[in-house]
Structure 1
Amino acid sequence: MPNFAYSGFNPQGAVKGVITAKDKAAALADLKEKNITAKSLAVASPLSQNIKLRDPLPSGTDMSLLCSQLALMDRAGVNLLETMTSLLQTTANQKLKDALHDIRDGVSRGQEFPIALGRHPLIFDKSFVALVKAGIRTNTLSTTLDRVSTMYERNVKVTQEVRGALVQPAITIAIAIAVVILLSIMVIPQMQGMLEGLNVALPPLTKIILGFSAVVRGPIGLLLLAVIVAAVIFVQRYIKTDQGKTNFDKFVLRIPKIGDLVLLGSLSRVNRTLATLLSNGIAKNEAIGIAAEASGNRVLEDVLLLGRKSVERGDHLYTVLEAHPKLFPATITGMVRTGESKGELSEMLDRVSDFYERQVETDARNLTKYIEPFMIVFLGVIVGGLVLAVMLPLSEVIKNLST
């Protein structure tokens, strides 16, 4: 569907943005439903569409802050419309602000708050909507939002630990590859004439470096670049498919050290989400299904969905987890078994999540220490190889002159 750029005003003042609709009439109807009077409406230019698409989704920190503000205002007795208006003035993320605009307009028309939230699943996922609904039902919305804020905050911490451990080596490798390509294109060609004019037999290493430079600068280099770009695009699209996402997640979990860290991060999120849902009165089978989607890993999600079916049949969750010991260590299955038998599953899962958060932090530091020596050796081989490729012919010339 096309995007339409609009400008106009609502009861709060002037507004502008981009809206997606099947045609201009549908776009006007959507704007009217949001209580926006359009002054201008036209098909968005490619530039404005790209700007809209590049607006990032709110981070976990944004969501944690939003929950804290909602809880504070609910506890102070501020009505929901005033709360939403206040949040619009303090929210920096554009996509979150657009969603809050729409939610406020929906609530002002009599729409229930959880239903209005559910209109924006990319921002307010099933766990958020279910927890808000439970908080309203039990008249504990502020307490529930405080728990959700804590959940987002801790999930952000775990995600940052995992990413921090993986990003550093990736950046190092990318810089090394970029340096090699730049040297091959800009520096080595200038040295090639000098090296070939020394009137000495070039050593194999120097020939390899010069040959690599010639390949990179020639049509074969362009062909390789095109193949790499095509492969990256194919992999990105493949990962977006259900089967591709599953296979990619399986592959990541098989990578030594890295797979263990990713699994720990996913388990921490699952346990924290499930504990928060259960402690707010969400039915176990529904909570397991929501936590499965929050895992961020299709392999874990599939197993947890099997666990939900088992619970719906009247069985225990731990029986399914025990059948997959590579994904769910004995620590988790034992705590889940104890929690289910004593009716304290949410408390047990909170403890497990705390344990895995500490484990993620420790393993992330250890992974960095584990990878650093390999990065140093990798860079040393590249730099040392280039230096030797130049110095070996020069040393041969000096040797000939001395004799």
Structure 2
Amino acid sequence: MPKLSGSSNWKIAEMLRFSYTAFNPQGRQQKGQIDAVDLADARRRLRADGLSISDLKAAQAGSEKPQAASAVRFGRSFNTTRFFADLSVLMNAGLGVDQALRAMQDAASRTGDRQIIGRMIERLSSGATPSVALSSLHGLPEDALALISSGEHSARLPYVMKIVAADLEKRDAQRKQLIDASVYPLFLLAMMFLAIGVVTFVLVPTLEPIFESSGRSPPFIVAMLSSVRGALGDPVVILTIFAGIVCVTIFAMMRPSAMRTAFAAVVLKLPFLGRAISQSALARYLQSLSLLLDNAVPLPDALALSARCCPAVAFREKLLSMRDAVISGKRLPEAFKACGLFPRGIVSLVAIGDEVNKLPTVLENAAGVLRSDAQRLTDRLLALMTPLITIFLGILIGGLVVSVMTALLGINELSVQ
């Protein structure tokens, strides 16, 4: 089992960026940014410079970008996936991060791409770590940055860059596959809502007076659509719906991280998709933990850093609790079992790896098992999505047609009488 003590000379040295507002000894206010290990380190550095801190918080990634970089976004966006693929090839060929970035800057055909890569080179030249330098990339997933940080600490950065590049390519392929598979179902949904709208606002108002004049109750679906039309015509209902949309939009703009967290928590509870996402996220955690332990990183530090590599934010608190459990004296298999996130088979594999002192290898294999299960679930979901939605829409539209035909036959009966 890896050592739990701090006997290793390895130490986390990742620098984070913090924005501050402070007063100098002359009483003048000044604002700026500072790189530090954590919030306490940033506060200590500012006080050492004789500054009285008024406000100190973590700076958002890329907040210091010049306006020229923002303008680039309105054109063709920076291809992050292609960037990491090229960076991985160069670094695995033996180039350092700065050398690979300079080669990519020289080969870039667009001015915006050269500016973005140039800012990374400037950060590296000023002493920033690769993970801090790459954090200026707009839209780079947080778990990818954490994985790059783990590569810095494990001295296997080229290998980690290859993993990140492959993962980004896989995400793009899955996103394209999902979009392609969703086109036809979304078209069917649009047609369904259009048909229901025509029936609700055109056909139902024509049928209602006939049933009212004859004293007969309309069919169930006609009565239901009539109620929906009446509700949508009520100003109070419309105002309530509009106010709800505005509130959700404002909250999403002011607290985007909280909105993403809430949305992710809902997605994780979905029957098939949630399970696939959960297994993929836990596979990333196990992969990072294996990488760190394979390079003699102390177990508590590896557990803390690997938790950041988990894409599912809702899991991170439980994953961090495993580190506290290990520090308190529990063995790693016991911490895995108490966490409650991992399947029983994975917990058994971890226990075996801990017993035979092959934990990194076993964790890598366990990550592969979870990735395979997640891919299998995703493939099944995509294969079943189109026929399931088609059947569902067929039942809805068929029921609507039957109800309308029943209503028409009822009208015919009334006319005969």
* Common fold by TM > 0.5: yes
- What displacement does 1:262 show? 2.4
Q: Which residue of 2 aligns with 1:190?
A: 202
Q: Which residue of 2 aligns with 1:365?
A: 379
Does 2:242 match 1:226? yes
Q: Which residue of 2 aligns with 1:129?
A: 149
Out of 167, 170, 177, which is 1:157 matched to? 170
Task: Name the aligned partner's letter for residue 392 of structure 2.
Answer: F
* CA–CA separation in structure 1 for the residues paired with 2:255 and 2:132: 31
Q: Identify the structure with bigger relative contact order (alpha carbons < 8 Å, sequence gap 6+).
A: 2
**Percent of matched pairs sharing the same residue:** 16
> Is the alpha carbon distance of 1:389 and 1:162 closer, same or farther for their aligned partners in structure 2, counting shifts above 3 Å?
same
* CA–CA separation in structure 1 for the residues paired with 2:244 and 2:365: 45
SS of the residue corresponding to residue 349 of structure 1 reads helix
Does 2:113 match 1:101? no
Q: Which residue of 1 aligns with 2:158?
A: 145
- What displacement does 1:351 show? 0.8
* CA–CA separation in structure 2 for the residues paired with 1:116 and 1:294: 15
* CA–CA separation in structure 1 for the residues paired with 2:179 and 2:344: 26
Q: Which runs of 5+ in 1 are unaligned?
A: 1-19, 28-42, 136-140
> Is the alpha carbon distance of 1:160 and 1:295 closer, same or farther for their aligned partners in structure 2, counting shifts above 3 Å?
farther
> Is the alpha carbon distance of 1:278 and 1:269 closer, same or farther for their aligned partners in structure 2, counting shifts above 3 Å?
same
- What displacement does 1:368 show? 4.5
SS of the residue corresponding to residue 339 of structure 2 reads coil
Q: Which residue of 1 aligns with 2:227?
A: 211
* CA–CA separation in structure 1 for the residues paired with 2:399 and 2:87: 54
- What displacement does 1:131 show? 1.2
- What displacement does 1:253 show? 4.2
Task: Name the aligned partner's letter for residue 127 of structure 1.
Answer: L
- What displacement does 1:307 show? 1.9
Q: Which residue of 2 aligns with 1:14?
A: none
Task: Name the aligned partner's letter for residue 147 of structure 2.
Answer: S
Q: Which residue of 2 aligns with 1:316?
A: 331
Out of 341, 354, 359, which is 1:345 matched to? 359
- What displacement does 1:382 show? 2.9
- What displacement does 1:165 show? 7.1
Out of 280, 285, 288, which is 1:273 matched to? 288
* CA–CA separation in structure 2 for the residues paired with 1:324 and 1:235: 32
- What displacement does 1:117 show? 2.4
> Is the alpha carbon distance of 1:197 and 1:203 closer, same or farther for their aligned partners in structure 2, counting shifts above 3 Å?
same
Q: Which runs of 5+ in 2 are unaligned?
A: 1-18, 22-29, 33-65
Task: Name the aligned partner's letter for residue 101 of structure 1.
Answer: G
After superposition, the CA RMSD in angstroms is: 4.6
> Is the alpha carbon distance of 1:331 and 1:349 closer, same or farther for their aligned partners in structure 2, counting shifts above 3 Å?
same
* CA–CA separation in structure 1 for the residues paired with 2:77 and 2:242: 29
* CA–CA separation in structure 1 for the residues paired with 2:20 and 2:180: 38
Q: Which residue of 1 aligns with 2:398?
A: 384
Q: Which residue of 2 aligns with 1:303?
A: 318
Equivalent residues in 2 for 1:31-180, closer than 5 Å: 52=73, 61-62=81-82, 64-72=84-92, 75=94, 81-88=98-105, 99-107=116-124, 109=125, 111=127, 113-114=129-130, 117=133, 120=136, 123=140, 125-132=145-152, 134-135=154-155, 144-154=157-167, 157=170, 172=185, 176=189, 178-179=190-191
Moved more, 334-343 or 157-166: 157-166
**TM-score normalized by structure 1?**
0.67
- What displacement does 1:362 show? 1.7
Out of 278, 283, 291, which is 2:298 matched to? 283
> Is the alpha carbon distance of 1:160 and 1:267 closer, same or farther for their aligned partners in structure 2, counting shifts above 3 Å?
farther
Q: Which residue of 2 aligns with 1:33?
A: none
Quick check: 1:132–1:145 contact (8 Å CA) kept in 2?
Answer: no
> Is the alpha carbon distance of 1:82 and 1:241 closer, same or farther for their aligned partners in structure 2, counting shifts above 3 Å?
closer
Quick check: 2:123–2:133 contact (8 Å CA) kept in 1?
Answer: no
- What displacement does 1:210 show? 3.2
Q: Deviations over 1:336-385 (max 9, x none)?
A: 22223333222111111111121112222334466666534431343124
Quick check: 1:55–1:94 contact (8 Å CA) kept in 2?
Answer: no
Quick check: 2:290–2:363 contact (8 Å CA) kept in 1?
Answer: yes
> Is the alpha carbon distance of 1:120 and 1:383 closer, same or farther for their aligned partners in structure 2, counting shifts above 3 Å?
same
Moved more, 158-167 or 196-205: 158-167
Task: Name the aligned partner's letter for residue 239 of structure 2.
Answer: L
- What displacement does 1:292 show? 0.7
Q: Which residue of 1 aligns with 2:60?
A: none
> Is the alpha carbon distance of 1:378 and 1:97 closer, same or farther for their aligned partners in structure 2, counting shifts above 3 Å?
farther
**TM-score normalized by structure 2?**
0.65
